[in-house]
Amino acid sequence: MIFGDENSPIAVLGVGNILLSDEGFGVRVVQHLVKWYDFTPQIRVIDGGTLGWDLLNFLQGVEKLILVDAIDGKAVPGTFFVLRDDEVKAYFKRKVSGHEAGIQEVLAWFEIKGKPIKNITVVGVQPLSLETGLELTPLIQSLVPKTVEEVIRELKKWGIEVKKREKARDLGTWELI
C-alpha cells in the first residue's frame, strides 16, 4: 500500500512480516507516520510488507529513501540502528530475511539500470521476538516513537516539512492488519 504522492522522489518504506511480531516493525512505524503526520511537499509512504521484487514498482523515480525495518544486527534486542549510504550497502550484503533479500536485489537493479537511489537511510531495531503474532513486543513497541523521530529528522534534512496532526487519520482496513 502506498500513501501520499506516488511520484515523489522521496519515500519512506516500511518492510517486514506483520505475522511474526517484531518482524512487522517497519510496517507498524509507517502506519504510525501516516496516521499522525502530514508532509509538505507530499512524499511516498509505503507499506512494503514482504513484497521483495514487487517493490520495484513502488520505488521507480525515488532519489531519497528511508527504509524502516527490524534489523538483525546480532545485538541486544531493542538496539536502535541508523545506517546511511555505504553502511546500507554493507548491511544488505548479508541476506537476513526474504524481504531484505528482495530489497537488496531491487537496489542493485536500480544501480545496474543507471538509476541508483542516491540517498538511503535505514532506521530500525534489533527484534526481540520473531514468533507468530500480530503485535509488536512491548520492548519493540516502545521504540516506535524514537524511530518516528529519527525518520522525521531525516525528512527535515531533505527539506520536508512535517506537521503532527491533532486528530489521527483513519487508516481503515490498513490499520487492522
Segments in the chain forming alpha helices (H): 25-36, 55-59, 86-92, 98-112, 138-141, 144-157, 173-176
Name the grid cell of 160. 520536508
Q: Is residue 169 situated within a structural domain?
A: no
Torsion over CA of 122, 123, 125 and 127, rounded to 10 degrees?
A: -50
Per-residue pLDDT tens, the chain, 177 aa: give them.
888 999 999 999 999 999 999 999 999 999 999 999 999 999 999 999 998 888 999 999 999 999 999 998 889 999 999 999 788 877 776 655 555 557 888 888 999 999 999 999 999 999 999 999 999 999 999 999 999 999 999 999 999 999 999 999 998 876 555
pLDDT in the model for residue 9: 97
Q: Is residue 66 situated within a structural domain?
A: yes
**CA–CA distance, 82 with 125 (Å, rounded to integer):** 9
Q: Could you tell me which residues come within 8 angstroms of residue 42 by beta carbon, excluding any fewer than 6 positions away?
A: 4, 5, 8
pLDDT in the model for residue 93: 66
Q: Is residue 177 situated within a structural domain?
A: no
Q: Is residue 171 situated within a structural domain?
A: no
HSE-up of residue 73 (Cα within 13 Å, Cβ side): 22
DSSP letter, residue 35: H
Q: Is residue 176 situated within a structural domain?
A: no
Closest alpha carbon to 69 in 98, 39, 38, 35:
98
What domain count does the chain have?
1
Q: Is residue 172 situated within a structural domain?
A: no
Q: Is residue 17 situated within a structural domain?
A: yes
Q: Is residue 173 situated within a structural domain?
A: no
Query: How does the average pLDDT of the chain come out, rounded?
Result: 91
CATH of the domain at 159: 3.40.50.1450
pTM of the model as a whole: 0.92
Closest alpha carbon to 30 in 155, 157, 167:
155
Q: Which domain holds residue 160?
A: 2-164
